[in-house]
Structure 1
Amino acid sequence: MGTLEEQCMIDLIAVDDLLAGAAAPVGTTANLSWVVLGAVLTLLAAAGVWLIHESGQRSRVGGTALLCLSLAVLAFFTVGFALAMGGADGIYAGLGPLPGLGSEWMPRGEGWGLLGRQGFFLAGASYEAGVYALFLFQSLLVVMAVVIAVIPWLNRTPRLVPVLYTLLFAGLLYPAFANWVWGGGWLARLGQTRELGHGLVDFAGSGVVQAAGGLALLGALLALRRSPGEDVDMTAADVRALAGVALAAVGWMGCVAGSTYVMGNLPLAIAAANVLIAVISAGTVGLLYTWFVAGEPYLTVGAHACLAGLVAIAAGAPFFPAWAASVVGAVAGLLVPFGGYLLARLTGNMVTGSLVAVDGLGGIWGLLAVGLLANGRYGAGWNGIGEQSYLGVASLGITGIFPGLNLPADSGQLTAQIVGVGALFIFPVVTFLVVGGLSRLVAWWQGVRGLTMQHGRMAAEPTTEAESSDPPTSNDAGNRSALG
């Protein structure tokens, strides 16, 4: 055994070798940490959205809701993540290599991907920190989408219907659209295949999460059109709404923070500040509107307007200047009362109509706003477009048709955003057909089962009462007269 000094020298050399080996992925490790933190905070956003949604209706379906959320994560773990991100290797440089996620189904050739083909059960080569971080972040976005798309109508149909629909939504519908936008699918590649800007841009889920969930909710409400439920205790509703706004704002900051590192090293400070500006602008407009038309600012409308601002700004938070973020939020705030009224007439329920306005219309507006107001400062190389220069300008990023700063307008970006909005309508159509069909099927089965059980009970009952109610026979009459 050597001296103490020799042993210390050996230990220092070993530590130095270890640090030298770890020096390369230090940036990636920091990114992974941010992504995990953002995923955890995203769960707060889902809780906040749930509280705001529940502030306008009474519900006793907590157990079914938790079951649906649990099944959503399981469905995404088993098949959904692979379908969404099975071809994502090389897309998210901030997460490092993503082994086991390198196969995309492209039936029409390069650039027309529809679904991923690797990563089922996170098995095989997917056992890598970057893959697990991406799964964690995406799975909690799935939870938020299910909160929007399924929870509001749990008390309108037998429990089996939302349970089965949740499996379809989290296992196929959501993953398919997520693949098209975030997994290297055809919407993301519109810039390469059709020269439409940078392809569809959805930074933190205005379309993939919020609009998809809101439009799915619309399809379900149309399939289950019912009369509104009981009145709500507005004191309790106000408390839930305020708590929901606080949680959603904090959680959405986490989602934005995580997205800046998942999507690339985008300016977190600008994105976070724009989120705050949009939320405050939306809430202010919503409250002022109700003050003007009703004589006082309504908290529930203000809370829904704040959430609509969060939804809308998510698509392009790092790509807007501050004034544009304020415009995005203000328009989203107006969509809540106006869109909510129209959708309430369509769905037959004021509360759920407002929810569709918040998530569905807010998400659609957020996508379109990128094609209108993105200023080109950030996003160079997004979806592989314009890494060195774009539209003749060096390092030009994502640009709308009103970029300012004497930069060229990009009408192709707005066209890509419009195409993405059109693709979103797969959600209400499929949901309307599936939920309507499942509801009728379950109702029919329950009717058959009820009749079977009723016949079984009747067969098992004694026949004493039936016999005693039979009309008397001639022999009975003769016996009674003889006794008389």
Structure 2
Amino acid sequence: MKKKIGSIVLIGSLVATSVSAAPVTPESVQLSVDTMWIMIAAILVFFMHAGFAMVESGFTRAKNTLNILMKNILTISIGSIVYFLVGYGIMFGDSNGFIGTTGFTLSGVEDIGFFVFQAVFAATCATIISGAVAERVKLSSYLLITLVMTGFIYPVVGHWVWGGGWIAELGFVDFAGSTVVHLTGAVGAFMVVLFLGARIGKYNGKEVNAIPGHNIPLGALGVFILWFGWFGFNGGSSLAADPSLIPSVISTTLLSASGGVAASALYSTIRFKKLDPSITLNGALGGLVGITAGTANVSLTGAIIIGLIAGVILVEGIRFIDVVLRVDDPVGAVAVHGVCGIWGTLAVGLFDTVNGAFYGGGLGLLGVQAIGVGAVILWTSAAVAVTVFILKSAGGIRVAREEELAGLDYAEHGSNAYEFKESLTSSSSKQTGNAGSGDLVERLNQLGSSSKEPAARKSV
């Protein structure tokens, strides 16, 4: 009797399942696979923020580590919320080609997975500013800039290019964001640094002093994390699990980054007579930024060439910004994301296998790419300048001199990332013979103090 009852229950459950479950079709399976791929890619891009945190903290001084970590975790958190509230609607809502006006708080939006993928992109754009303004910006000012970037400035650019806006209508190509994400973030960083000024001790008359980072291995780990996450950054921009496209995208991503490393290593050796580790690490990121626009549109050989050129112009870009323009960017973010972002976008006009100049397509696409780059630079420069001017007028954006010398960890958070007791005692003993003497602020500032190394020794 028990066996009969068990059989009836089993059969009934199978019938109920077959009745209630949606029919499995090729289309439903494809949708599931596509959604899974986009979610995996979004998680990889989210993990890139760990890479940014490691790179920025490793290539700056120890006394500012906690501050950088807080900026990065708050950027992804605040950026996601603001992008949910207004950014997504401005970027992908209905409009006249300039700005979206629907879809705020995802009203009427069904594809939540697409929102998640775009939200982590928005935060990536904003966090580029974090490294450039490190060691002297008020945390509150930085967070307000992040709010404006993720809620308005970046979404407008995204709408122009990816939301069906006026630049997209021209035929502009930016597959994963050399301009939309990286150039926008770099221009924003450059403008903020102009208002902010250089760190204390960076420039002394005509002399340019290098201020070394405190933990190059940590920075190297960050570069590898960013490179790993970039496979999702570019690969996920396919927006579908396309077996004919994704392997090509990941391959061009790998080869361009490798070309960037090789070129920056060789060129820095020729330029400075030694292979510079920080520049070489930066070369990977320069190659990654350079290929992001055309990763789906260029050949594997073209990707290598793009990466090689990115590695060279990266080195000269860092030196030009640091020495000629005298803009103090502690981690070289403007050169990596700005200079290489411009190159990568323009390179599509040359190396696109269908419409590129090197493939018989003429200069039409190159001209369109240049228009898009120019428009984004003008818009971002003006919008960020207005934002920072207001913040600076309202109460300033830079910490006090004493706070900068002591380090933002102590000034902004009342703590330190590392235990300084042994180092401080040793430093004081050597200078005064007394383990407990010496001014705390002065001793903290001596950790990772300025040195006359090549001015280009910096990373993202």
The one of 346, 365, 368 equivalent to 1:413 is 365
Q: State the Cα distance separating 1:34 from its structure 2 match.
A: 0.4
Q: Is the 8 A contact 2:131 2:329 kept in 1?
A: no
Give the letter for the 1:409 counterpart. Answer: G
Structure-1 separation of matches of 2:145 and 2:272 = 39
Cα distance per residue 1:409-442 (max 9 Å; x no partner) = 1532222211110111121232233213311321
The one of 160, 177, 180 equivalent to 1:208 is 180
Closer, same or farther: CA 428–272 of 1 in aligned 2, 3 Å: same
Structure-2 separation of matches of 1:338 and 1:446 = 31
Closer, same or farther: CA 155–47 of 1 in aligned 2, 3 Å: same
Other-structure match for 1:105: 95
**2:155 corresponds to 1:175:** yes
Q: State the Cα distance separating 1:277 from its structure 2 match.
A: 0.6
Q: Which has the larger radius of gyration?
A: 1
Other-structure match for 1:31: 34
Q: How does 1:353-364 map to 2 (within 5 A)?
A: 354-364=332-342
Q: How does 1:18-417 map to 2 (within 5 A)?
A: 21-23=23-25, 24-58=27-61, 59-60=64-65, 61=67, 62-86=69-93, 104-106=94-96, 113-123=97-107, 125-126=108-109, 128=110, 131-190=111-170, 199-227=171-199, 236-261=214-239, 267-345=245-323, 348-349=326-327, 351-352=329-330, 354-376=332-354, 399-403=355-359, 408-417=360-369
Other-structure match for 2:386: 433
Q: Is the 8 A contact 2:42 2:116 kept in 1?
A: yes
Report the 3-state secondary structure (helix = DSSP H, G, I; strand = E; otherwise coil) of the residue aligned with 1:66.
Answer: helix
Cα distance per residue 1:176-219 (max 9 Å; x no partner) = 001111111111111xxxxxxxx111111111111110111111
Give the letter for the 2:183 counterpart. Answer: A
Structure-1 separation of matches of 2:57 and 2:382 = 25
Q: Is the 8 A contact 2:55 2:223 kept in 1?
A: yes
Structure-2 separation of matches of 1:329 and 1:433 = 35
Q: Is the 8 A contact 1:158 1:439 kept in 2?
A: no
Structure-2 separation of matches of 1:253 and 1:428 = 29
Structure-2 separation of matches of 1:85 and 1:26 = 26
Structure-2 separation of matches of 1:238 and 1:251 = 20
Closer, same or farther: CA 49–63 of 1 in aligned 2, 3 Å: closer
Q: Is the 8 A contact 1:41 1:254 kept in 2?
A: yes
Q: Is the 8 A contact 2:290 2:306 kept in 1?
A: yes
Cα distance per residue 1:58-98 (max 9 Å; x no partner) = 22423344334422221111100111112xxxxxxxxxxxx
Q: Which moved more, 1:435-444 or 1:33-42?
A: 435-444
Structure-2 separation of matches of 1:328 and 1:246 = 20
Report the 3-state secondary structure (helix = DSSP H, G, I; strand = E; otherwise coil) of the residue aligned with 1:201.
Answer: coil
Closer, same or farther: CA 149–350 of 1 in aligned 2, 3 Å: closer
Q: Is the 8 A contact 1:221 1:347 kept in 2?
A: no
Closer, same or farther: CA 271–335 of 1 in aligned 2, 3 Å: same
Q: Which moved more, 1:258-267 or 1:66-75?
A: 258-267
Aligned length: 385
Other-structure match for 1:422: 374
Unaligned runs of 5+ in 2: 203-209, 401-460
Closer, same or farther: CA 445–171 of 1 in aligned 2, 3 Å: same
Higher relative contact order (CA 8 A, sep 6+): 2
Closer, same or farther: CA 291–228 of 1 in aligned 2, 3 Å: farther
Report the 3-state secondary structure (helix = DSSP H, G, I; strand = E; otherwise coil) of the residue aligned with 2:167.
Answer: coil
Closer, same or farther: CA 201–343 of 1 in aligned 2, 3 Å: same
Report the 3-state secondary structure (helix = DSSP H, G, I; strand = E; otherwise coil) of the residue aligned with 2:357.
Answer: coil
Structure-2 separation of matches of 1:178 and 1:428 = 15
Q: TM-score normalized by structure 1?
A: 0.73
Q: State the Cα distance separating 1:5 from its structure 2 match.
A: 6.0
Give identity over the alignment, percent. Answer: 26
Cα distance per residue 1:195-246 (max 9 Å; x no partner) = xxxx111111111111110111111111212245686565x43212310221
Closer, same or farther: CA 158–11 of 1 in aligned 2, 3 Å: closer
Structure-2 separation of matches of 1:156 and 1:375 = 45
Unaligned runs of 5+ in 1: 87-103, 107-112, 191-198, 377-398, 448-484
Report the 3-state secondary structure (helix = DSSP H, G, I; strand = E; otherwise coil) of the residue aligned with 1:115.
Answer: coil
Closer, same or farther: CA 446–227 of 1 in aligned 2, 3 Å: closer
Closer, same or farther: CA 439–283 of 1 in aligned 2, 3 Å: same
Structure-1 separation of matches of 2:38 and 2:173 = 20
Q: Which moved more, 1:332-341 or 1:5-14?
A: 5-14
Report the 3-state secondary structure (helix = DSSP H, G, I; strand = E; otherwise coil) of the residue aligned with 1:21.
Answer: coil
Report the 3-state secondary structure (helix = DSSP H, G, I; strand = E; otherwise coil) of the residue aligned with 2:168.
Answer: coil
Report the 3-state secondary structure (helix = DSSP H, G, I; strand = E; otherwise coil) of the residue aligned with 1:105.
Answer: coil
Q: State the Cα distance separating 1:152 from its structure 2 match.
A: 2.9
Give the letter for the 2:390 counterpart. Answer: G
Other-structure match for 1:468: none
Q: CA RMSD of the aligned region, Å?
A: 2.7
Q: State the Cα distance separating 1:155 from its structure 2 match.
A: 3.5
Q: Is the 8 A contact 2:176 2:293 kept in 1?
A: yes
Give the letter for the 1:81 counterpart. Answer: Y
Q: Is the 8 A contact 1:114 1:186 kept in 2?
A: yes
Q: Is the 8 A contact 1:50 1:244 kept in 2?
A: yes
